[in-house]
Amino acid sequence: MFEKLIKLVQRPSEQLNGRVLVHKDYEIKADTNYRPPLARNVIAQSILDKYDFIEFVNEYKEEQTKLFYNENQIKAVFNYPLVDEADYGDSFCVMGLRYTNDFSRFSSMLEKKMSQKEFIMMLKTLEPYIVGFDGKEIENMDIIEIAENLQATKNINSIQRNTQQKFTLDVEISTGHSEMTIPRYISFEFPIFKNDLQLKTRFEVELFLGGSDDGFEAVLMCYKLEQQKEEALKELTKEVQNGLDGVDSFMS
């Protein structure tokens, strides 16, 4: 009876000579079978290569996994909420879209007045991607050689469009005086995205020539640039989706 009364007034702990003492009756015994619950498995990953992205998403995808894409990225959300089951939608893998250096160089030269030197440099840089002139596949015309040998200062006023809608220039070249025809349209084909260098897009570019004090000026116009970029993005997303069986995609 006396021990029960002591417990009623006994504090869980007290200080003795500066030390905190816990009474035996209040000690918590460790349970060796107790394990704290694991935190939710939240993934936040970034991957550049298309094939690596597909492989990673396939490893972690669930029933509710969805794809969302825009001009900046393709994003797989692993735990997207279902109609009858809420979730946080905070577990994801992102493939940030990056333009290739050649496409960035190409698009930066569009609608810009180029001197003869700049025009030649642009053609030489993108030569591997020139695939056609005036809607036809390349035959024997070397547009770079023509651009290098054009002496347009005296003869730029002779530029005309003939019945076939091409440029006809009466020009002086290094070997003498001759008449040459250069194309009105130049076709380029190259990959837009670093994410997939096998995915190529074809661009039709119209060439405009004009005179200047230093020679001639060239301007390239690509009227469907934004449309073709959007189509390339849709094609890239479709290829990713095809590699992820059962995952739907949405433009965000």
Q: How far is residue 77 from each of residues 25, 186, 225, 247, measured CA to CA in Å?
A: 51, 41, 30, 10
Q: How far is residue 39 from each of residues 59, 64, 65, measured CA to CA in Å?
A: 20, 20, 20
Tokens coding 141 = 């015309």
Question: What mean pLDDT is predicted for residues 16-22?
Answer: 57
The span from the CA of 184 to the CA of 159, in Å, is 12
Residue 6: half-sphere exposure toward Cβ, Cα within 13 Å: 5
Residue 235 has pLDDT above 90, yes or no: yes
Percent of the chain with pLDDT over 90: 47
Q: Give residue 52's Cα distance to chain centre.
A: 15
Backbone angles phi, psi at 73, to 5 degrees: -165, 165
104-158, pLDDT tens digit by residue? Answer: 999 999 999 998 888 888 888 898 899 888 888 876 657 777 676 655 444 444 4
161-217, pLDDT tens digit by residue? Answer: 444 444 444 444 333 445 556 788 999 999 999 999 999 999 999 998 876 666 678
Work out the angle at residue 88's Cα, subtended by the Cα atoms of residues 84 and 94, and round it to the nearest 5 degrees.
Answer: 120
The span from the CA of 216 to the CA of 153, in Å, is 7
Q: What is the pLDDT of residue 166?
A: 47
The span from the CA of 47 to the CA of 109, in Å, is 30
- Global pTM reads 0.72
Q: What integer best gives the mean pLDDT of the chain?
A: 80
